[in-house]
């Protein structure tokens, strides 16, 4: 009897556990040897394109895979076939599986040539050896790229003096930090937008809203924090060790120990106590613009780049006005490296892939196809330089679309009719006139201090959101936060960063 019930239970447990265990997938593919082939510098362009080649391109998709992707791929292939005797194969990968899938493709030696890469994953991808060095290829086949991307920005993709990715062409600056407010309420309460010059001027504005509009909160915060874009320092990748004023003579300091940070927290606390934030700001998974869209808040802090005001207004579904809170815009490595295009170490013909990448930066027809799809089917021309969806189709029903910011050079493509038409002119201006951070081009390699980084990440997760949304009292919690950062080894990270920065400065004669 006893053994029988034990048996029955054992088998039941086995079945149940099997259900648990099968949930764990494993990545156990074994990589072969890579033989990095140096580009044959003697080959003439003609012999380089003699044999047909298929270029596999991985792109992240945010949502369903566009249903007409095959048709677009065929059209792209037609262009590339004529120009460089290569066809393309688009590999759309869902954003949720993006990083893992790409690592698996690399270690499984699957066919992968060209790929988008997020700036924040770039240095770890380089460290784990998934990307090809591009310096020689760029010199040989990247003429158009070098014309499009100014050397200081192209150089910001350098790691240990070598380039592994080409930055997407965009606004490479911090943008203008400021506040976006609902225009209807600004008008209703006669708020003088031009008098807002710093965050201290916002007290008055928020008070007006708080008193007169009880149904909404003055400032929405959640997934995005006020300090995300309201920055007075170069965060050097991760905020553990920053350059105040984007210069500070390359002396890295602990942001959380600075007076400015404490003042900022006190300001946030005063707003929090006055009820200017949404109550669940410290835990909300909703970003500022969505809160505004849902009619729950009056404004949010962000930074504005050319064209952003229009797109943010469109996303919020109501007209917004912008008041800048800081005068200058700065160019930093983190901002320059939003996204990059990289060549995989799996590629068997990196020369041809670089030729294609060069086309992505220079060929207008290719850019339009890649971003908007096929003319007549996915878009129609509205004016000479702008387009619209065909009749009866909108952004939700169109058969092909990708995020235009992942494309290598969106500035040569059309703009949507609703976009700011001078956007690319203004972008070029902004990139040119932005004050270059003294550390522009420097990327921090956190590998030597990865244990400390893990601990620091947990400490900041614990305190930062609560403090920066005014939920926690800085008088009580900031000393605790600072002490825990010290215990987690922030000083070691800063020392390491300082060392790397000095080495970088010496190598680049800064």
Partner 1 sequence: MEKAVMAAEALPGITYKKKENRYRKYSPLLIMMVPGLVYMLINNYLPMLGIVIAFKKINFTKGLLGSEWIGFENFEYLFKTSDAFIITRNTILYNLLFIVLGTALAFICAILLNEIKNKLLLKFYQSVITLPHLISMVIVSYLVYALLSPDTGFMNRTVLPWFGVEDGISWYSEEKYWPWILTIVHFWKGVGYSSIIFFAALLGIDEEYYEAARLDGASRVKQILHITLPILTPVITMLTLLSIGRIFYSDFGLFYQVPMNSGALFNTTATIDTYVFRGLMGSGDIGMSTAAGVYQSIVGFLLVIIANYVVRKASKDNALF
Report d(CA 192, CA 491) in Å as an integer: 44
Nearer to partner 1, 234 or 468 (CB): 468
Report d(CA 474, CA 116) in Å as an integer: 41
Nearer to partner 1, 358 or 460 (CB): 460
Shortest distance, position 240 Cβ to partner 1, whole Å? 11
Structure-derived torsion over alpha carbons of residues 470, 225, 320, 398, reported in degrees to the nearest 10: -150
Shortest distance, position 196 Cβ to partner 1, whole Å? 28
Nearer to partner 1, 125 or 401 (CB): 125
Nearer to partner 1, 65 or 104 (CB): 104
CB atoms within 10 A of CB 32: 8
Shortest distance, position 18 Cβ to partner 1, whole Å? 9
342 in Cβ contact with 125 (< 8 Å): yes
Nearer to partner 1, 177 or 220 (CB): 220
Three-state DSSP state, 230? coil
Nearer to partner 1, 81 or 450 (CB): 450
Residues forming beta bridges with residue 173, ordered by sequence position: 331
DSSP alpha helix (H) spans, 196-279: 202-212, 226-229, 259-273
Shortest distance, position 163 Cβ to partner 1, whole Å? 17
372 in Cβ contact with 387 (< 8 Å): yes
- How far, CA to CA in Å, does 367 sit from each of 22, 148, 168, 464, 478? 43, 14, 13, 41, 49
Shortest distance, position 499 Cβ to partner 1, whole Å? 19
Shortest distance, position 348 Cβ to partner 1, whole Å? 14
Nearer to partner 1, 24 or 82 (CB): 24
Three-state DSSP state, 443? coil
Nearer to partner 1, 128 or 418 (CB): 128
Shortest distance, position 236 Cβ to partner 1, whole Å? 14
List of residues contacting partner 1 (CB under 8 A): 1-13, 16-17, 21-22, 24, 26-34, 99, 103, 106-107, 120-121, 124, 127-130, 238, 278-280, 282-283, 285, 345, 446, 450-451, 453-455, 457-459, 461-466, 471-472, 484, 487-488
Nearer to partner 1, 31 or 161 (CB): 31
Closest C-alpha to 308, from 117, 153, 469, 173: 173
331 in Cβ contact with 172 (< 8 Å): yes
Q: Which two tokens stand for residue 170?
A: 């965009």
Shortest distance, position 471 Cβ to partner 1, whole Å? 6
Report d(CA 235, CA 450) in Å as an integer: 18
Shortest distance, position 466 Cβ to partner 1, whole Å? 5
Shortest distance, position 457 Cβ to partner 1, whole Å? 5
Specify the pairing of strand 435-436 against strand 330-331: parallel
Shortest distance, position 394 Cβ to partner 1, whole Å? 30
CB atoms within 10 A of CB 49: 18
265 in Cβ contact with 478 (< 8 Å): yes
Instruction: Name, in order, each residue with C-beta under 8 angstroms of 427's C-beta and a sequence gap of 6 or more.
Output: 170, 171, 305, 306, 307, 411
Report d(CA 57, CA 399) in Å as an integer: 20
Shortest distance, position 217 Cβ to partner 1, whole Å? 10
Shortest distance, position 265 Cβ to partner 1, whole Å? 14
Report d(CA 310, CA 301) in Å as an integer: 16
Nearer to partner 1, 23 or 63 (CB): 23
Instruction: Name, in order, each residue with C-beta under 8 angstroms of 86's C-beta and a sequence gap of 6 or more.
Output: 49, 52, 53, 54, 55, 80, 352, 355, 356
CB atoms within 10 A of CB 387: 21
Nearer to partner 1, 149 or 163 (CB): 163
Nearer to partner 1, 121 or 399 (CB): 121
What is the DSSP-derived secondary structure letter of residue 411? G
Angle at 226 between CA 221 and CA 231, to 5 degrees: 165
Helices then strands, each counted (H, E), the chain: 21, 18
Nearer to partner 1, 286 or 423 (CB): 286
């Amino acid at each position: 009897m006893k053994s029988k019930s034990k048996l029955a239970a054992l088998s039941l447990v086995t079945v149940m556990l099997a259900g648990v265990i099968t949930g764990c997938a494993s990545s156990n593919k074994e990589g072969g040897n890579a033989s990095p082939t140096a580009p044959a510098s003697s080959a003439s362009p003609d012999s380089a394109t003699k044999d047909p080649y298929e270029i596999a391109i991985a792109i992240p998709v945010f949502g369903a895979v566009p249903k007409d992707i095959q048709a677009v791929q065929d059209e792209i292939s037609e262009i590339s076939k004529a120009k460089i005797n290569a066809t393309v194969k688009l590999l759309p990968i869902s954003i949720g599986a993006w990083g893992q899938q790409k690592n698996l493709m690399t270690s499984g030696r699957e066919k992968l040539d060209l790929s988008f890469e997020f700036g924040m994953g770039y240095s770890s991808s380089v460290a784990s050896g998934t990307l090809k060095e591009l310096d020689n290829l760029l010199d040989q086949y990247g003429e158009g790229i070098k014309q499009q991307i100014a050397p200081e920005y192209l150089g910001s993709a350098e790691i240990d003096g070598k380039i592994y990715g080409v930055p997407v062409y965009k606004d490479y600056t911090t943008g203008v930090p400021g506040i976006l407010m609902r225009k209807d309420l600004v008008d209703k309460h006669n708020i003088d937008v031009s008098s807002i010059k710093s965050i201290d001027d916002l007290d008055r504005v928020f008070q007006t809203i708080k008193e007169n509009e009880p149904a909404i909160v003055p400032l929405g915060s959640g997934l995005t924090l006020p300090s995300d874009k309201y920055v007075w320092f170069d965060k050097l990748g991760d905020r553990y060790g920053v350059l105040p004023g984007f210069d500070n003579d390359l002396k890295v300091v602990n942001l959380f120990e600075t007076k400015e940070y404490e003042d900022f927290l006190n300001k946030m606390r005063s707003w929090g106590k006055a009820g200017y934030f949404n109550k669940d700001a410290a835990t909300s998974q909703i970003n500022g613009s969505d809160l505004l869209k849902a009619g729950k808040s009056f404004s949010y802090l962000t930074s504005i780049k050319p064209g952003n005001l229009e797109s943010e207004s469109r996303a919020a579904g109501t007209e917004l006005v912008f008041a800048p809170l800081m005068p200058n815009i700065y160019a930093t490595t983190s901002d320059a490296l939003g996204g990059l295009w990289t060549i995989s170490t799996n590629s068997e013909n990196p020369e041809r892939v670089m030729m294609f990448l060069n086309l992505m930066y220079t060929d207008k027809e290719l850019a339009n196809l890649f971003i908007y799809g096929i003319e007549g089917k996915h878009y129609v021309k509205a004016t000479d330089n702008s387009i619209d969806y065909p009749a009866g189709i909108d952004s939700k029903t169109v058969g092909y679309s990708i995020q235009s910011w992942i494309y290598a050079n969106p500035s040569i493509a059309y703009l949507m009719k609703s976009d700011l038409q001078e956007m690319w002119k203004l972008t070029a201006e902004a990139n040119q006139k932005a004050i270059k951070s003294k550390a522009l081009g420097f990327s921090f390699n956190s590998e030597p201090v990865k244990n400390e980084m893990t601990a620091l990440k947990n400490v900041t997760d614990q305190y930062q959101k609560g403090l920066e949304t005014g939920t926690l009292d800085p008088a009580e919690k900031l000393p605790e936060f600072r002490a825990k950062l010290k215990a987690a080894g922030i000083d070691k990270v800063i020392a390491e960063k300082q060392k790397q920065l000095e080495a970088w400065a010496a190598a680049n004669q800064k």
